[in-house]
Amino acid sequence: MNSAPQIALVSGTFSSPSKTSALGQAVASAVQRTYGGAVHTTEVAGLLREFGISLTTGSTTATLQRHISAVEQADIVIAVSPVFKGSYSGLFKHFFDLLDPYALTGRPVILGATGGSERHSLVVDYELRPLFNYFNAHVSPVGLFATDADFVDYEIITPALVQRIDRAVNSLAPLLQRDDEPIAAAER
Ligand SMILES: Cc1cc2nc3c(=O)[nH]c(=O)nc-3n(C[C@H](O)[C@H](O)[C@H](O)COP(=O)(O)O)c2cc1C
């Protein structure tokens, strides 16, 4: 990949303002500082009407399609969700259910979650990561997890989390060198 990357940020929160979205935006800013590029943001809570229309009519609205395409065509995907009942939010999953199963093949992805306590920090590895393994994406080994203690006024204040974000972003460098071809239909 020689040109500036297209970056897609998907946040699975219902809140605004949101710690989850603040985490995602901090990652997106770090990706931009390191690799350049533009960020397209999808807040799934803003797509409730679109989800309803697509479920009841079977056709995707132009707005929803724009968000789906932005993620499918991104060079780097950042996916963050609040922890709800030990997993990602239902709407977060619903959005990714709408993507082409092969669209994220080989795609560099950074995963993050926010929760009420550190007891659920492995949600990133045991819930989010398998979803992106399904997509055959290249997920950074550095998963991100934050709790209330990492934020003041929705700004990250803990140096350890800032450093971990930088490690996650730097871990994408080798993945951005390669150009995985989409899986041919016959191989699916
Ligand atoms: C319905 C619901 C379920 C939750 N379940 C968990 C959970 O299982 N584990 C956890 O650590 N936090 C849980 N939380 C807390 C949220 O994950 C946490 O407050 C998160 O940071 C909220 O992010 P936001 O600022 O984007 O809304 C839950 C919150 C809600 C509303």
User: Predicted confidence band at 186 (pLDDT cuts at 50, 70, 90)?
Assistant: low
User: Predicted confidence band at 176 (pLDDT cuts at 50, 70, 90)?
Assistant: confident
H-run or E-run covering 179: none
H-run or E-run covering 156: strand 155-156
To test the pocket of ligand 1, the residue of 13, 83, 144 to mutate (highest count of ligand atoms within 8 Å of its CB) is 83
Its CATH architecture, for the domain 6-187, is 3-Layer(aba) Sandwich (3.40)
Structure tokens at 156: 């990250």
Give me ligand 1 centre to Cα 77, in Å.
Answer: 22
CA of 119, closest atom in ligand 1: 11
Give me ligand 1 centre to Cα 173, in Å.
Answer: 31
Q: Establish whether residue 116 lines the binding site of ligand 1, counting it when its CB lies within 6 angstroms of any ligand atom.
A: yes
User: Predicted confidence band at 185 (pLDDT cuts at 50, 70, 90)?
Assistant: low
Q: Give CA separation, 102 vs 5, 107, 155, in Å.
A: 20, 10, 35
H-run or E-run covering 154: none
Q: Residues 64-103: pLDDT tens digits?
A: 999 999 999 999 999 999 999 999 999 999 999 999 999 9
Nearest to 67 by CA among 87, 85, 86, 48: 48
Higher per-residue pLDDT: 182 or 50: 50
Structure tokens at 181: 């071809």
What is the mean pLDDT of the segment spanning 25-40?
A: 98
CA of 17, closest atom in ligand 1: 25
User: Predicted confidence band at 123 (pLDDT cuts at 50, 70, 90)?
Assistant: very high
pLDDT score at 116: 97
pLDDT at residue 182 is higher than 60: no
Nearest to 31 by CA among 71, 77, 82, 92: 77
Nearest to 150 by CA among 118, 110, 111: 118
H-run or E-run covering 108: strand 108-114
pLDDT at residue 184 is higher than 80: no
Residue spans per domain, the chain? 6-187
